[in-house]
Structure 1
Amino acid sequence: MIPAIRTRIAAISIAVLLGACASKGPSTAQYDFGPLPATAAAPATPASPTAIIIADIGGPASLDSERMHYRLLYADARQSRPYAYNQWTSTPLQLLTQRMKARIAQAGVKVLSTTDAAASTNLLRMEVEDFAQNFDTATSSSGVVRLRASVFRSHKLVDQKTFSRSAPAPSADAAGGARALADASDAVAADVLAWLAALPPSKE
């Protein structure tokens, strides 16, 4: 009787262990843009606006999700594929908004929200056109960020420009893509800062 009980207990234990292993699966890794580079942003020039309203960045619905995507340009550039076990800590649109605000504030410009500033203050609106990790080959990819920026003053359009940057991924995976997209986003932010500094000053 005792050997039979031991055998039954051992069988139950093995079944429970196998069930736990099957249900666990790979763990999900989460990524963001990492710490703000300490010296990446150029200081504000005398022509730069002293304060600016930055609206939340808009974009396609696919970027309003934490899912991480990539494209195999060598197979089908029209297909966006999701990583199975990797995601952003928040949506790419939110990450870009936070990064842009942080980079502009780092340059010495006061960043205001759409609810606490006067109508005459410069308003920056941005719309993402592309945000993707693109694989040229199975082992080589880059992060591409393209957005359209518009500056309004007293509800009138001052200027509009499209910015595009790409950065190589250090590895052919989600971690490499996150790094490349962060670098490309920082490069776009630097371009936007230079553009803002070159805009005509307010006459008010």
Structure 2
Amino acid sequence: MTYSVAINKLAGYACCTRAGGRFGFMLSVALLLGACSALPDKPVRAALYDFGPGALSPVPATRQAPLPPLALADISTPGGVLDNQAVLYRLAYADAQQLRPYSQARWSMPPAQLVRQRLRDTLSRNRAVLNAGEGPALNRGVNQGVLPRVLQLELEEFSHFFETPERSVGLVRLRATLVETTSSGEKLLAQRSITVQRPAPSADAPGGVRALTAATDAAIDEIATWLQQTP
């Protein structure tokens, strides 16, 4: 029942009970309050999360020579489970195979896009990072006519993982592949699987988001170190 309908009903009750005096008036008010209490609540908007603002001050320049440029491909998500903005969790103690979404929490963009943005920001501190497929002419121009290596990533797991109702972690699993583009196609240079977990400060969506942010940053640091060590 809408508020306007409730008002109209009150007017009708008042007319019908005018002869009843004070009792009629009190009855009309009670009916109005009951009608208003039946009105549906406004839908609660889901909280929106990302990885935070990033560095708030310029990163100090390094004295080392900049690393070779790198082309970064879009991050794929096998199965498409992570192609939406849901904040997902697993209950290992109940059914570890089931991914469940938090009803009142969402990422600002799909997790793969958030991870790629964070990865690019980190790698850009020491090297030029290009978008794979922007165009051979642009990519060759950065490194004296040589196409840069391409980093490909698959985001296999990105969830708030509950080991018990009281203990949970942010779990991130990535597969990183480094390839070189040659005249005959792509040449595999190296591949690595990365699994990182970080404890959640609370057993809810905000705690899961904080844990997943920390796990993502740790995984990105591991990728950066691996790239520097790969000949």
The normalised TM-score by structure 2 is: 0.75
- Larger Cα-atom Rg: 2
1:82 corresponds to which letter in structure 2?
P
Between the aligned partners of 2:36 and 2:191, the Cα distance in structure 1 is 61
- Give how far 1:9 is off: 6.8
Aligned length: 196
- Give how far 1:108 is off: 1.9
- The answer for unaligned runs of 5 or more in structure 2 is 1-14, 141-145
**1:147 to 2:166 alignment:** no
Aligned to 1:101, the other structure's residue is in SS state: helix
Identity percentage of aligned residues = 35
- The higher-RCO structure (CA 8 Å, 6+ apart) is 1
Is the CA contact (8 Å cut-off) linking 1:31 and 1:89 kept in structure 2?
yes
Aligned to 1:147, the other structure's residue is in SS state: strand
Higher helix share: 2
1:34 corresponds to which letter in structure 2?
G
Pairing 1:1-204 to 2, within 5 Å after superposition: 1=15, 2=18, 8=28, 11-12=31-32, 14-21=34-41, 24-37=42-55, 49-60=67-78, 61-105=80-124, 107-114=125-132, 115-116=134-135, 117-118=139-140, 120-154=147-181, 155-200=186-231
Structure 1 stretches of at least 4 aligned residues deviating more than 6 Å after TM superposition? 41-45
Between the aligned partners of 1:48 and 1:72, the Cα distance in structure 2 is 44
Q: Call closer, same or farther: CA 1:103–1:112 in 2, change over 3 Å.
A: same
Is the CA contact (8 Å cut-off) linking 2:67 and 2:126 kept in structure 1?
no
Q: RMSD across aligned C-alpha pairs, in angstroms?
A: 2.6
